[in-house]
Amino acid sequence: MAFFESKVLPLLQSRCYECHSHEKKIKGGLALDLKTGWQTGGDNGPAIIPGDLVKSHLVQAVRYADPEMEMPPKGKLAASEIEVLEKWVAMGAPDSRVAKVADNKARVIDIEAGKKFWAFQPVRDAKAPAVKNRSWPSNDVDGFILAKLEAAGLTPNADADAYTWLRRVSLDLTGLPPSPQDIARFTADESPQAREHVVDRLLQSKAFGERWARHWLDLTGYADQIGTSNNVFAEHAWRYRDYVIDSFNLDKPFDRFIREQIAGDLLPFTTPQERAANLIATGFLVLGDVEIVAVDKLKMEIDLVDQQVSKVGTAFLGMTLGCVRCHDHKFDPITQRDYYAIAGMFRSTDSTYKTDNGVWSSINACEMPETPEQQSRRTQILAANEAKLKSLQSERTDAEKAKAALEPQIKDATKEAKPALEKKRDELAARIKAINGEVEHAKFFAPIAPKAFAVHDRPKTDDMQITIRGNPYALGDKVKRGLMAVASWGELPPIPANQSGRVQLADWLADSRNPLTARVTVNRIWQKLFGEGLVRSVDYFGVRGELPTHPELLDHLATRFVRGGWSQKQLIRSLVLSRAYRMSSAHNAVAMTKDTDNRLLWRMNRQRLDAEAIRDSMLAISGKLAPANGGPALPLEFPENVTSLSPKAVNPPAFNLKKFRPVQEFERTVYLPVIRTATQPGPAKLRDVFDFTQPAQISGKRAETAVPTQALFLLNSDMLRARATELAQHLTQTESNAGARLEVLWLRVLNRPITSAERDEANQLIESLLADKAWIELSHALLSSNEFLLRL
């Protein structure tokens, strides 16, 4: 003991405490200022095994035996110092220190204190406050907005004109501008319900789901590609995309939408269609950026679990749960136990399987129930495919025979005749090769029962052990499956035997008592309509996020949302019919000085159209927008778009997009393939130019940049040229004189009548060019204009 106190302790104090003591830091979880510190050890287990130099990490570390763990990192100890430590360990590491150091681990999370933060407080409905200007509000929403403005001495902007409002609501709800007919109908509708008529028409249009589904897909990491390596196609992913579109169009209650996506496979059902939708919905859990090529499958699976926990955290709770995999949350009252309580549910769920290709895995796909019509249609397609295969195979047999017959002829042929025969043989060989490819393709894509990417519970479900610093081989305590304590009101109901617990997780997320889900959801809807959220950090409601500008309004909306059966359409309807939504986005010098960021909403925020709205609007304006009914986004039916189909290949089947269906040029952007690791393909190119949320990310808010590549796209891309040309053709074909053409052009592109000054300028331009060119240039200029690219 004397040796410890005179030799060892000073050494530990001078050379180790800086990083391994309660007073300073506890790096790697190891504290050396206590006996129990080295006994329990850090991330790698006990630091000292008394008497065993080889197994004692401390000794190995000071000897610099392992380059991954050399201590102290700043420089090796002197040989004499190392000897001291070796001798001490060999003696059995006598340590006289008793636990006197206060066990003040860096930071202990106090859940009860954490619950006091606004986002974890129960949602409390509030009545709209009294306002002075009682004529302004048209519904409850307006009272909350106006009260704050009045308190700050601000007045709301005047109403936007009818054209601006119509364009705004049309773009917000459907991603498409109003047509000249829509404009005429609205401006002629003198009834007090004119706005309601418009809103109801838009909410019932298919275009509504096509737009709002994309907002949701931004939160899922959706792509038509599995993982990020080798362009592996996600051939069933489109079913999830279509499911989301349908869910919005059917106004599926959001609590139901949650349950299906988290635990659809475990939900009861009555019809095959319902079962199919439930299974497809779980694609939410697996259609993100899933790693599938890894030698270490355990690590791969744990990484996927982490992604699932993180996604649930961001999409439904507005929390960054990913951080908590390795340590308690640095700012928010979320512990590692919370993380592993939820992670255990996903660890008990099967998401991937090992394929026959090399080290590759793939996402689970399950067969879906078919309706009798689907079955009979498939039988027909199958028969056609069989016939095609048969004819290909017989053509191949003929070609092979012909080729075989040529060989002896070539051998015996004269010098003059030989080249022609050889050419013929080579042509046959090439044809045989092509047929082989087609046969392989036809076999691979033979119509099978419809499948969806989906998850299911593992045969054996279990709680999960903490992985130390995310290392699946360094395990800590087992954590009982459960919920995030700070947002819970009680214990998790018991998980049925052999179930993962995802049903219970979904029930908790979709419970009216959950303080986060409804708030996060209504805030995202608000943000899409008003440009900024009531909580501006839409994906993060934690301590370091933004505080709500209108907390009572947020809670009022959340309450109404839940009471209204979690109907998104109802909520959207009431928001766009509010007076606040009607305000002009015009500048106001006084208000600007008082509230530059428009936090109190004295005006409407103008927004730049997102990538989809830009492309889709241009198609609608040029008259070329093609209706679509969903279905596979990747044109894998073209053999040239597919590689590596052989079942024996080292790498899995992959896409290599060279050719698109002609109609894809004209379909809405949501239906085009989404690629994770390359620039967006073919007609979807402009996504990259206009701030599309790349599918490796999850984000509820799109960036709104103004960069030169956008201007180049607008100036010089083939797409703009094509739309401008089509629009000009349409104008010249349908209207005979320049005046009428200008009227229509302005109505179609900017959705308002042309002003007289604009008419004069446009006429100047038209006179200075040949007629056919003039209309193209003018259309092109309008389609690149700020006014077109913004929704005011």
Partner 1 sequence: MKPHSIPRRQFLASAVTGSLLFPGIVQQLLADNADPLAPKQPHFPAKAKRVIFLFMTGGVSHVDTFDPKPALTRDHGKEIKADHPEIKKRPGYERIYLKRPQWEFAKHGQCGTEVSALFQNIAQCVDDIALIRSMHTSHSNHYNATLGMHTGSFAQSRPSIGSWATYGLGTLNRNLPGFVVIAPKQTYAGTQVFASDFLPGAHQGTLVVPGAEPIANVAPRVPASRQQLELAALRQINEEHLASRGTDPLLAARLQTFETAFGMQMAVPDAFDLKQESDATLASYGLQRGQTTGFGWQCLAARRLVERGVRFVELIDTGSSGNWDAHGDMMTHGPLAKNVDQPIAALLRDLKQRGMLDDTLVVWTTEFGRTPFNNTATAKGREHHPWAFSSWFAGGGVKPGIVHGATDEIGLRAVEKPVHVRDFHATILHLMGFDHEKLTYRHAGLDFRLTGVEESHVVKEVLA
Q: Give the footprint of partner 1 on residues 627-666 (CB under 8 A).
A: none
- Nearest approach, Cβ of residue 706 and partner 1 (Å): 4
Distance CA 65, CA 71 (A): 10
Q: Does 597 bind partner 1 (CB under 8 A)?
A: no
Q: Does 716 bind partner 1 (CB under 8 A)?
A: yes
Residue closer to partner 1 by CB (options 174, 585) is: 585
Q: Does 471 bind partner 1 (CB under 8 A)?
A: no
DSSP H/E element including 642: strand 642-643
Residue closer to partner 1 by CB (options 157, 499) is: 157
Residue closer to partner 1 by CB (options 511, 688) is: 688
Pattern 167-206, binding to partner 1, x per CB under 8 A? Answer: ----------------------------------------
Q: Does 356 bind partner 1 (CB under 8 A)?
A: no
Q: Does 381 bind partner 1 (CB under 8 A)?
A: no
Q: Does 743 bind partner 1 (CB under 8 A)?
A: no
- Nearest approach, Cβ of residue 515 and partner 1 (Å): 17
DSSP H/E element including 312: helix 297-312
Q: What are phi and psi of 685, to 5 degrees?
A: -50, -40
Q: Does 542 bind partner 1 (CB under 8 A)?
A: yes
Give the bridge partners for 365, in sequence order.
453
Burial 726-743 (b: 16+ CB within 10 A, else e): bbbbbbbeeeeebeebbe
- Nearest approach, Cβ of residue 658 and partner 1 (Å): 15
Q: Does 578 bind partner 1 (CB under 8 A)?
A: no
Give the bridge partners for 467, in sequence order.
475
Among 188, 295, 448, 497, binds partner 1 (CB under 8 A): 295
Q: Which stretch binds partner 1 (CB under 8 A): 408-416, 560-568, 629-637, 685-693?
A: 685-693
Distance CA 681, CA 693 (A): 15
Distance CA 334, CA 339 (A): 8
Among 2, 79, 108, 589, binds partner 1 (CB under 8 A): 589
Residue closer to partner 1 by CB (options 250, 678) is: 678
Selection from 652, 10, 134, 1 nearest residue 363 by Cα: 652
3-state secondary structure of 451: strand
- Nearest approach, Cβ of residue 608 and partner 1 (Å): 7
Distance CA 15, CA 450 (A): 65
Let me know: does 280 contact 368? Beta carbons within 8 Å: yes
Residue closer to partner 1 by CB (options 498, 709) is: 709
Distance CA 679, CA 205 (A): 31
Name which of residues 543 to 562 contact partner 1 (CB under 8 A). 543-545
**CB proximity list for 271: less than 8 A, separation 6 or greater:** none
Residue closer to partner 1 by CB (options 206, 327) is: 327
Selection from 116, 117, 220 nearest residue 541 by Cα: 117
**CB proximity list for 539: less than 8 A, separation 6 or greater:** 314, 318, 698, 699, 700, 701
The answer to whether the Cα torsion of 703, 709, 715, 717 is positive or negative is negative
- Nearest approach, Cβ of residue 759 and partner 1 (Å): 12
Residue closer to partner 1 by CB (options 452, 792) is: 792
Name which of residues 303 to 332 contact partner 1 (CB under 8 A). 303, 320, 322-323, 330-331
Q: Does 703 bind partner 1 (CB under 8 A)?
A: yes
**CB proximity list for 496: less than 8 A, separation 6 or greater:** none
Selection from 247, 319, 231, 251 nearest residue 280 by Cα: 247
Q: Does 782 bind partner 1 (CB under 8 A)?
A: yes
Selection from 578, 576, 577, 596 nearest residue 587 by Cα: 596
- Nearest approach, Cβ of residue 655 and partner 1 (Å): 13
Name which of residues 663 to 682 contact partner 1 (CB under 8 A). 676-679
Query: Given its phi and psi angles, is residue 231 left (phi above 0), alpha (psi -120 to 50 degrees) or beta?
Result: left
Q: Does 709 bind partner 1 (CB under 8 A)?
A: yes
- Nearest approach, Cβ of residue 689 and partner 1 (Å): 9
Residue closer to partner 1 by CB (options 498, 768) is: 768
Q: What is the DSSP letter of 322?
A: G
- Judged by CB under 8 A, the number of residues near partner 1 is 78
- Nearest approach, Cβ of residue 103 and partner 1 (Å): 24
Among 238, 257, 284, 540, binds partner 1 (CB under 8 A): 540
Let me know: does 502 contact 266? Beta carbons within 8 Å: yes
What is the chain's alpha carbon radius of gyration, rounded to the nearest angstrom? 33
Distance CA 356, CA 371 (A): 31
Two tokens, residue 304: 């996927």
What distances in angstroms separate CA 605 from CA 327, 355, 532, 792, one per listed residue? 39, 50, 8, 7
Tokens 């017959």 belong to: 405
Residue closer to partner 1 by CB (options 2, 757) is: 757
Residue closer to partner 1 by CB (options 36, 229) is: 229
Give the bridge partners for 363, in sequence order.
352
Q: Does 333 bind partner 1 (CB under 8 A)?
A: no
Q: Does 71 bind partner 1 (CB under 8 A)?
A: no
DSSP 151-203: HTT--PPPBPPHHHHHHHHHHHHHSSPPPHHHHHHHHH--STTHHHHHHHHHH
Q: Does 711 bind partner 1 (CB under 8 A)?
A: yes
Q: Which stretch binds partner 1 (CB under 8 A): 99-107, 199-207, 433-441, 696-704?
A: 696-704
Q: Does 784 bind partner 1 (CB under 8 A)?
A: yes
Q: Give the Cβ contact number of residue 78 at 10 Å.
A: 10
Q: Does 780 bind partner 1 (CB under 8 A)?
A: yes
Let me know: does 642 contact 603? Beta carbons within 8 Å: no
Residue closer to partner 1 by CB (options 438, 546) is: 546
Pattern 29-68, binding to partner 1, x per CB under 8 A? Answer: --------------------------------------x-
Let me know: does 237 contact 221? Beta carbons within 8 Å: no
Among 60, 139, 179, 229, binds partner 1 (CB under 8 A): 229
Pattern 750-769, binding to partner 1, x per CB under 8 A? Answer: -------xx--xx-xx-xxx
Q: Which stretch binds partner 1 (CB under 8 A): 30-38, 228-236, 337-345, 364-372?
A: 228-236
Residue closer to partner 1 by CB (options 370, 777) is: 777
Let me know: does 141 contact 578? Beta carbons within 8 Å: yes
- Total residue length of the chain: 792
- Nearest approach, Cβ of residue 130 and partner 1 (Å): 32
Residue closer to partner 1 by CB (options 383, 765) is: 765
Q: Does 717 bind partner 1 (CB under 8 A)?
A: yes
Residue closer to partner 1 by CB (options 67, 662) is: 67
Give the bridge partners for 353, in sequence order.
362
Among 271, 375, 394, 697, binds partner 1 (CB under 8 A): 697
What distances in angstroms separate CA 577 from CA 191, 582, 601, 791, one per listed residue? 15, 8, 16, 17
Among 349, 611, 789, 791, binds partner 1 (CB under 8 A): 789
Among 440, 665, 691, 735, binds partner 1 (CB under 8 A): 691
Helix H segments across 470-516? 502-509
- Nearest approach, Cβ of residue 589 and partner 1 (Å): 7
Among 481, 608, 615, 741, binds partner 1 (CB under 8 A): 608
Residue closer to partner 1 by CB (options 156, 501) is: 156
Among 24, 390, 658, 773, binds partner 1 (CB under 8 A): 773
